[in-house]
Structure 1
Amino acid sequence: MKRIGLKFAAMSVMAGLVSATAAQAQDFTFKLHHFLGAKAPAQTQMLEPWARQVEENSDGRVKIEIYPSMTLGGRPPELIQQARDGVVDLVWTVNGYTPGLFPRTEVFELPTVFKNDPVAANLAMFDMFEDDLKEEYQGVEVMFLHVHAGQGLHMRNTEVRTPADLDGKKLRIPTRTGAWAIEALGASPVAMPVPELPPALQKGVVDGAMIPWEIIPPLKIHEQTEYQIEGHDKERFGSTSFQVSMNADRWNGLPDDIQQAFRDASGRDWWGKVGEVWRGTDNFGIELAVKSGNTHITLTEEETQAFRDALAPVVDRWIEDVSAKGIDGDDLVEKARDLIADNTGAM
């Protein structure tokens, strides 16, 4: 009887330890909401590794649940407000889905500022964040910012080698800076979240889109287009900025050690790593398109310069626009260009 009693007591202690561990593991549960599918590289290669690192840093006290494809409701442009209102704890979203809300960060989207290196751009964003960008992220605590590998042209059935080839075409873009670029090239911008692009291409609502190659596999863009076009040495026509951010009240209510778990997973090296992820997935996307029979056009240096010349006024337009709001656009462009140059080849 005594042995049975001791065994029961030991089992009770073990059960108590397991229960305590489980309870501890559920101390802080966060819902992360985003607009792409669960198999998109943005989730599998960026959001999931980041979430698991935060959980590890917290010794299991944090659990981050990822909800893709807007499964918690709403449309992609509503994500940032969902985070600000505390409807969800965390979001990954496109800054440009809410035009004008993050004007300083737009500098990294501009053609001739962003060219072809998402790692360098992300590191430059990190270096500028505290002094130049942070003030526009009201209501949220930024975990990290990033750009994608840059806007390439995806065309249904039009071969493009000069800006004139785009005259009168309708192109999808998610951001106002991208819309300005499309207008500068003589085309008409059509704003829509990227999940809506495949049927728009299929039905001829748009003739093409400015997006990175990364999005080709998850949305099967290669099945709706014939041509993918980029500049010399992988130069692109601008980029798009994104954020992963937490509701500010939720953040402020966390103990210091849990905040540190997030900070340690979201440092400068991680911002650079995200750039590597997007470059890698971009390469995979264009390889898939080519293997499927699409034509990948890399413009010559001379052809690329014609696009640079056409797009140069976009930077001037942005500087004038933000300057009217009291933002020193000239300074931001100069800083961004210098820091991108300094960080080129950094990783």
Structure 2
Amino acid sequence: MSSTEKTAQIQALETQLTQLSSAPHTPEQDAEIRKLQVRVRELQQEILGATNGGGEMTPMDRVRLARHPERPYALDFIHLLFTDFHELHGDRRFADDPAIVCGFARFEGEPIFIVGQQKANYKQRKMEDRKYRNFGMPKPEGYRKAIRLMQMAAKFRRPIVSFIDTPGAYPGIEAEERGQGEAIARNIIEMMRLASPTIGIIIGEGGSGGALAVGACDRILMLENTIYSVISPEGCASILWRDASQADKAAAAMKITPEPLKEAGIVDEIVPEPGEGAHTDHAAAAELLKPYLAKQLEALRGLPPEKLMEQRYARYCRLGAFVVED
């Protein structure tokens, strides 16, 4: 089977997985989901193995690596990079959202605050663990929890580190009923006003407003095999060409990988990954990230709140490009 045929099969399997995952599950359906996930992983490894031996990776290859089920998630990095992590819960309005973890910790002995989007339980990646974390898709209470605690951290001038890894905010009816759009918009507004340094690190998928709601930061880092986009390649292809199988073409056109994003000034630094990707060695991935995080914290720590907010506002005003026609 050629790489193109394998890619088409992966896309078909991922569509089937999405349909199965969005509906209530029976034990038989859970078993089918696990079987499909195993097959997707096998095909991904076959394609990546061929790519690594035969030339440059395509943007869609990077998308698949960003989604790799064995990539380190936020809690993996938290336990590998920080000490004394103490998780806090709840938005004080509705509930606690397991798709977002927040807490205080120490980085190289210095106090810090952490926000992380989490796709599965720590060291547990079975289907029930992914369902518990809602596959990393936060609900409004998750974003409200995050901003409540970021504001608490800012009162004490604690630097804030945000681990971004979501396909997007949860689009379910109950999330819309509880104000998903307002929660995302409110987070972006309030993050602009935080008096503490903020650093966003894209460790997997940085999907749309779901990512930006915890990623409107002073600095943005991206791991080497991650993506940051307003929509998924499959979603873009469905809109532009009415055909999700054109995702490879969309991924190339969207410029969602680290290099073009850095060139555009959206991302500040690209963090290398070990081996064939961060999924091959979590500890090594964390070790590679550590000096980049330390460097950015050192650069931002000495700035007064007024200067931080001024630079942050200017940063986001510079993003994007437009043409004025006569």
User: Which category of TM-score, normalised to the shorter sequence, fits these structures?
Assistant: under 0.3
Instruction: Name the structure, 1 or 2, with higher relative contact order (CA <8 Å, separation 6+).
Output: 1
Higher Rg: 1
Question: Which TM-score applies when normalising by structure 1?
Answer: 0.24
